[in-house]
Copies of this chain bind each other. A is one copy, B any other.
């Protein structure tokens, strides 16, 4: 175990030179910001490096610098936004490239000295409980971690890398995994990388970690880690049940049989046409794909809609009595929802159970609807209920999807894209999807 940890750290821990260079670039940027704010006469504005770069928990080769421009809390929102942007734009003049982003406030992102730099304006408040916007909390996180983690930065590096390798790192809505801040808190809480894994092996949903015992609210999430800087916030709110469980599973596996490769996710090789056909043939199921153009929105907007799409389409199929073995999603230039069905076709006849015979009003209405109906196959009584055999609306899942997907609850941007056009492919037609990333996804999923 110690050997493995050493070998991993050799790969992921920034060298002294890397560290020094980062500090140099960060200081240079902060100095420039301070000069600009001084020049325009902005009083009480401070700059601070936050995030993993500030805490010594960044993985070698990642080049992110988060610099916060902290305005006094009596600054108007308009002033904060316009001055924040204006500072950012002046710095950006010396950047390799840059653009403006809009979160709660607008901010400037740029390439500078080989780093991805975010220049984020925020309010400087007296405690995390008085924050005026979500980003105002970050400087307090920085403070807490620096005060409590010291000496265990390597454990955080190992935990982050292990989570990356097992696919559970990242709290963005595409991943629904663990945030960097959360890994730091876990190391502080349990003491070390191994102790986090040992604890996780025994985790159950509903677990509450409250490092300074000040939690002031109930949460329903699988894991609840009360933010030490804010008693009303669950740091693990973005973590899905399945990523929580995947981490439990990975922790047990690694402790049982320490396998270095778990730290590094390996992409499956893309399936060739012949391999994909073989795979479909072996399984014997019906594979169906809904393909549409990926809307031009950020991941945090797109992925919740993509999940919503899956959660609308599976019930649509099930309501029409198609049995869905599993559903999967992939997104590149096009986005694809895959559905694996027991069978894409169903017989024409369908059992339609009516009311119990003894509930007279309903029973008579049902009976009169089906008793002499030329479309109905039969009307019988089974277990006290009327049962009509009627023709099915859709005997082919492809036809069902072509007719009804656009009417599903899909989320704004996906709905727009789908209405502009989508195709439903099945079986061999899926070979038309040539994207290597998609073929690689299918290798893991199918």
Residues of B within 8 A of A318 (CB): none
The answer to whether A252 and B202 touch across the interface, beta carbons within 8 angstroms, is no
Convert A79-98 into 0s and 1s, putting 1 for each residue whose CB lies closer than 8 angstroms to a CB of B. 00000000000000000000
Convert A249-261 into 0s and 1s, putting 1 for each residue whose CB lies closer than 8 angstroms to a CB of B. 1001000000000
The answer to whether B241 and A383 touch across the interface, beta carbons within 8 angstroms, is yes
The answer to whether B358 and A204 touch across the interface, beta carbons within 8 angstroms, is yes
Rounded to whole Å, the gap between the CB of A357 and the closest CB of chain B is: 4
Query: Which of B222, B284, B363 meets A347, CB within 8 Å?
Result: B284
Convert A199-243 into 0s and 1s, putting 1 for each residue whose CB lies closer than 8 angstroms to a CB of B. 001111100000000000000001000000000000000000110
Interface assignment of A160: CB less than 8 Å from any CB of chain B: no
The answer to whether A242 and B283 touch across the interface, beta carbons within 8 angstroms, is no
Interface assignment of A364: CB less than 8 Å from any CB of chain B: yes
* A window 145-176: CB within 8 A of B: none
Q: Given known contacts A203-B358, A346-B342, is B283 in contact with A384 (CB within 8 Å)?
A: no
Interface assignment of A351: CB less than 8 Å from any CB of chain B: yes
The answer to whether B357 and A248 touch across the interface, beta carbons within 8 angstroms, is yes
The answer to whether B249 and A283 touch across the interface, beta carbons within 8 angstroms, is no
The answer to whether A205 and B349 touch across the interface, beta carbons within 8 angstroms, is no
Closest chain B residue, CB of each to CB of A247:
B357
The answer to whether B381 and A284 touch across the interface, beta carbons within 8 angstroms, is no
The answer to whether A285 and B347 touch across the interface, beta carbons within 8 angstroms, is yes
The answer to whether B202 and A367 touch across the interface, beta carbons within 8 angstroms, is no
Closest chain B residue, CB of each to CB of A392:
B284
Query: Which of B325, B377, B395 meets A351, CB within 8 Å?
Result: B325
Among A222, A245, A246, find the residue whose CB has the most chain B CB atoms closer than 10 A: A245
The answer to whether A205 and B242 touch across the interface, beta carbons within 8 angstroms, is no
Query: Which of B201, B205, B383 meets A384, CB within 8 Å?
Result: B205
- Cα-based distance from A104 to B204 in the complex (angstroms): 63
Interface assignment of A100: CB less than 8 Å from any CB of chain B: no
Residues of B within 8 A of A244 (CB): 384
Q: Given known contacts A347-B285, A395-B284, is B201 in contact with A381 (CB within 8 Å)?
A: no
Interface assignment of A326: CB less than 8 Å from any CB of chain B: yes
The answer to whether B348 and A282 touch across the interface, beta carbons within 8 angstroms, is yes
Residues of B within 8 A of A325 (CB): 347, 349, 351
Interface assignment of A39: CB less than 8 Å from any CB of chain B: no
- Cα-based distance from A107 to B187 in the complex (angstroms): 89
The answer to whether A381 and B349 touch across the interface, beta carbons within 8 angstroms, is no
Rounded to whole Å, the gap between the CB of A404 and the closest CB of chain B is: 21
The answer to whether B283 and A377 touch across the interface, beta carbons within 8 angstroms, is yes
- Cα-based distance from A246 to B386 in the complex (angstroms): 10
Rounded to whole Å, the gap between the CB of A230 and the closest CB of chain B is: 27
- Cα-based distance from A283 to B346 in the complex (angstroms): 10
The answer to whether B285 and A349 touch across the interface, beta carbons within 8 angstroms, is yes
- Cα-based distance from A343 to B341 in the complex (angstroms): 13
The answer to whether B326 and A351 touch across the interface, beta carbons within 8 angstroms, is yes
The answer to whether B348 and A283 touch across the interface, beta carbons within 8 angstroms, is yes
Interface assignment of A382: CB less than 8 Å from any CB of chain B: yes
Question: Given contacts A203-B358, A284-B347, A285-B347, could you give 13 more A-B pairs where the C-beta distance is less than 8 Å?
Answer: A205-B358, A245-B358, A246-B381, A248-B358, A249-B357, A249-B363, A249-B367, A252-B364, A283-B348, A284-B395, A326-B351, A342-B343, A342-B347
Query: Can you give 29 contacting A-B residue pairs, CB < 8 Å?
Result: A201-B360, A203-B358, A204-B358, A205-B384, A241-B384, A242-B381, A242-B383, A242-B384, A244-B384, A245-B357, A245-B358, A245-B381, A252-B360, A252-B364, A282-B348, A283-B347, A283-B348, A283-B349, A283-B377, A284-B347, A285-B347, A285-B349, A325-B347, A325-B349, A326-B351, A326-B382, A342-B347, A343-B343, A343-B347
Q: Which residues of A pack against B, CB within 8 Å?
A: 201-205, 222, 241-242, 244-246, 248-249, 252, 282-286, 325-326, 342-343, 346-349, 351, 356-358, 360, 363-364, 367, 377, 381-384, 395
- Which 3 pairs from chain A and chain B are nearest by CB? A284-B347, A245-B357, A204-B358
